[in-house]
């Protein structure tokens, strides 16, 4: 007899997690998953709280590590992602749908079933040694955070930094973690040569909002402390007020910029919340759990800047939005930056110092 259980189960959000659901991806013709086999299936057998949702890490062995990008509205053409999935659990993360390619849920699977790429430093060295390689800044943190909690033990980001430092290759880092300060010993000498810039993402200064929005990311005060520490080491720091969520975090724009400028940030940017593919239903479910009193208002304002849709995938428009609300957001942001002396242009990095890694034969001579 066919299983008649509903595909959506109303359950509490596990402690320290962001997504309230674990729906299986539907975009690739895969069968719907009613309940997650190693956790949610126990809901019918237990009485009371759910068992802890454990984080697992699986080793991934890619053949290449450098991802090329041709999008006209992003400021880089290549990136490296040491990890797939992100334990920070940010409910709005536009990278969540990438887990669907592995037949895993963009919901709880994305933040608890992680993939690590320990060969990344060696693969990166191999890419840089290729004949005809032309250097340009490599972006880290464009999909999932390179300094998420598992970096403490795996140290894959650290290994990539060591390769780039040895080659005098430029890079940018985007993170929500103060763990980036751990690598100041590598970053500071690179910054002195004009080879690195770091962007700290600060979404909210409110601890209550932070706990539900980004449950395992560093607290706001720790990110501001990281800005201060990086600047003290002479490293260029950019603050990214991202994402801006109407009726939840938009009132904090000026306060975040002021706090970041006081900590030493030199430039700033923002992105209105984006809800591609499976992120939209997850975000709606998150609103129903944490902000039922304003869920309709939040979605109405998001749709007002996304052309009546939950998400606008079009180049350029996806980063800033359109309409009255988007224009108001731009005006507020620019006035605050002007008042605080923050530019909207990130630091330019040098490429002329690049020295390809030595091959094995050269090292033997």
Query: What does pTM read for this prediction?
Result: 0.88
Residue 85 near residue 258, CB atoms below 8 Å? no
Instruction: Write the secondary structure of the chain as one string of H (helix), E (strand) and C (coil).
Output: CCCCCCCCCCCCCCCCCCCCCCCCCCCCCCCCCCCCCCCHHHHHCCCCCCCCCCCEEEECCCCCCCEECCCCCCCCCEEECCEECCCCCCCCCCCHHHHHHHCCCCCHHHHHEEEECCCHHHHHHHHHCCCCCCCCCEEECCCCCCCCCCHHHHCHHHHHHHHHHHHCCCEEEEECCHHHHHHHHHHHHHHHCCCEEEEEECCCCCHHHHHHHCCCCCCHHHHHHHHHHHHHCCCCEEEEEEEECCCCCHHHHHHHHHHHHHHCCCEEEEEECCCCCCHHHHHHHHHHHHCCCCHHHHHHHHHHHCCCCCCCCCCCHHHHCCCHHHHHHHHHHHHHHHHHCCECCCCCCCCCCCCCCCCHHHHHC
**Residues counted in the chain:** 365
Q: List the chain pLDDT tens, one digit each, 365 residues.
A: 333 333 344 456 777 788 887 876 666 655 554 444 454 555 555 555 556 788 999 999 999 999 998 888 788 899 999 999 999 999 999 999 999 888 899 999 999 999 999 999 999 999 999 999 999 999 999 999 999 999 999 999 999 999 999 999 999 999 999 999 999 999 999 999 999 999 999 999 999 999 999 999 999 999 999 999 999 999 999 999 999 999 999 999 999 999 999 999 999 999 999 999 999 999 999 999 999 999 999 999 999 999 999 998 888 788 888 999 999 999 999 999 999 999 988 889 999 999 999 864 444 43
Residue 146 near residue 81, CB atoms below 8 Å? yes
pLDDT value at position 194? 98
pLDDT value at position 18? 85
Residue 212 near residue 92, CB atoms below 8 Å? no
pLDDT value at position 72? 80
Cα separation of the two ends of the chain = 71
Cα separation, 112 vs 124, whole angstroms? 26
pLDDT value at position 261? 98
- Exposed (0-12), middle (13-18) or buried (19+): which is 29, by Cβ within 10 Å? exposed
CATH class of 55-348: alpha beta
**Spatial CB neighbours of 292, under 8 Å, sequence gap ≥ 6:** none
pLDDT value at position 5? 35
């Amino acid at each position: 007899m066919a299983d008649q259980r509903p595909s959506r189960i109303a359950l509490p959000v596990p402690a320290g997690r962001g997504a309230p659901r674990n729906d299986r991806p539907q975009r690739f013709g895969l069968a719907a998953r009613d309940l997650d086999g190693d956790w949610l299936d126990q809901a019918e057998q237990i009485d009371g709280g759910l068992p802890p949702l454990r984080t697992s890490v699986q080793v991934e062995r890619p053949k290449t590590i450098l991802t090329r990008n041709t999008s006209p509205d992003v400021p880089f053409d290549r990136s490296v992602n040491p990890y797939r999935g992100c334990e920070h659990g940010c409910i709005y993360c536009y990278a969540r749908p990438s887990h669907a390619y592995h037949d895993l849920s963009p919901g709880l699977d994305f933040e608890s079933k992680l993939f690590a790429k320990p060969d990344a430093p060696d693969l990166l060295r191999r890419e840089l040694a290729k004949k005809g390689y032309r250097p340009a800044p490599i972006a880290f943190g464009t999909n999932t955070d390179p300094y998420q909690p598992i970096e403490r033990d795996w140290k894959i980001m650290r290994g990539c930094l060591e390769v780039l430092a040895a080659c005098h290759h430029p890079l940018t880092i985007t993170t929500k973690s103060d763990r980036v300060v751990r690598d100041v010993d590598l970053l500071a000498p690179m910054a002195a040569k004009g080879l690195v810039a770091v962007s700290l993402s600060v979404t909210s200064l409110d601890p209550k909002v932070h706990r539900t929005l980004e449950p395992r990311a560093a607290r706001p005060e720790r990110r501001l402390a990281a800005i201060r520490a990086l600047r003290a080491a002479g490293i260029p720091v950019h603050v990214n007020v991202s994402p801006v969520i109407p009726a939840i975090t938009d009132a904090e724009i000026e306060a975040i910029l002021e706090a970041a400028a006081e900590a030493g940030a030199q430039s700033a940017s923002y992105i209105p919340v984006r809800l591609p593919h499976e992120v939209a239903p997850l975000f709606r479910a998150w609103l129903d759990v944490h902000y039922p009193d304003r869920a309709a208002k939040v979605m109405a304002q998001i749709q007002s800047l996304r052309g009546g849709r939950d998400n606008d995938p079009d180049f350029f428009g996806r980063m800033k939005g359109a309409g009255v609300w988007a224009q108001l957001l731009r005006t507020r942001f620019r006035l605050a930056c002007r008042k605080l002396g923050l530019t909207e242009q990130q630091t330019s990095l040098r490429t002329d110092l690049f020295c390809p890694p030595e091959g094995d034969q050269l090292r033997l001579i």
